Amino acid sequence: MDQIYIPKNRTGFNIGNYVVIKLLEAGIVEKSVEKLYFYRVKELEPLKLEIIREVMKTVSTFLDNYSNILVTGSFLDEGFHFNDIDVLIITESKINPKLIKRGIERKTAIKGHVLIITNKEIANGLKTDPLYQMMLSRCVSKKRFIYKIEQNFDYKLLDLHLLKSKTLIDNFEVLRGNEKHDLVRNLMSIYLFLKKKKITVDSVNKEIKRSLGADVKEIKDNLLDKHGFLKNYKLIYNETFKIIIDGIKYGSKSE
């Protein structure tokens, strides 16, 4: 049981009086906490919430006009195993992202990865780029964030994105676990996009497990069986590549 001591000489309090112990500034603190919007983020450590608020406050010092500020990426994973904090700023204003990046790093001592994008660019990205869909499927935003996705298959753009994932086949031995995970996630996002499936962090991870027989932790920890993993990986890569090539040859940009 906690004990709280009050001075012996106390005006207005007689011995035996009942008192209520209350935090004097509780109401002030609650009012000062900025509301955030969470999308597919179950729970965040209090320290991370404070960092996010500090990031958004820092961005606001550089920009008066913006549609939204969003934090995405591995920073939202459970624990403190992130390398940086990914910040997406939706604005029509022109500003060098390096300025904001330096401001974030100065305030939080965490490396910042800042992307500045217009409303038109993000709308187009969500239609044509599966990585945008996955990135924004789980985020914390300053303002309410609502979007509707109408897929538009730009096969030549998808071909460029897919080429990145071929690196894993050619350089399996020298790649680190996190690098392999990025390339696997890139491939699976494109694969699900072409299959017209919902793209979220969870759906991509489940497809990685189902199609490749490995979970995210195994990939990041670089504990993969090379022969078995690459066999499954090449099957998915070749299937995805064929869909894209057929789309370029016979299809159109929109579907």
Output the pLDDT for position 42: 82
Q: Nearest 5 degrees, angle CA 204-CA 187-CA 215? A: 45
- Structural domains in the chain, CATH included, are 34-141 (3.30.460.10), 155-250 (no CATH)
The reported pTM is: 0.75
Structure tokens at 110: 């965490």
**How high is the pLDDT of residue 209?**
95
Residue 26: what pLDDT? 47
Residue with tokens 């924004």: 136
pLDDT, average across residues 39-60? 92
Give the pLDDT confidence score for residue 104 in this predicted structure.
95
Q: What is the pLDDT of residue 9?
A: 58
Quick one: pLDDT at residue 28? 42
Higher-scoring residue by pLDDT: 145, 8: 145
Q: Residue 72: its pLDDT value, please?
A: 94
At residue 81 the predicted structure's pLDDT band, cuts being 50, 70 and 90, is confident
In this prediction, residue 219 carries a pLDDT of 95
59 pLDDT exceeds 90? yes
pLDDT: is 105 or 8 the higher one? 105
Strand duo 112-117 + 85-90: pairing:
parallel
Secondary-structure breakdown of the chain: helix, strand, coil percentages, each rounded to the nearest 5: 55, 10, 40
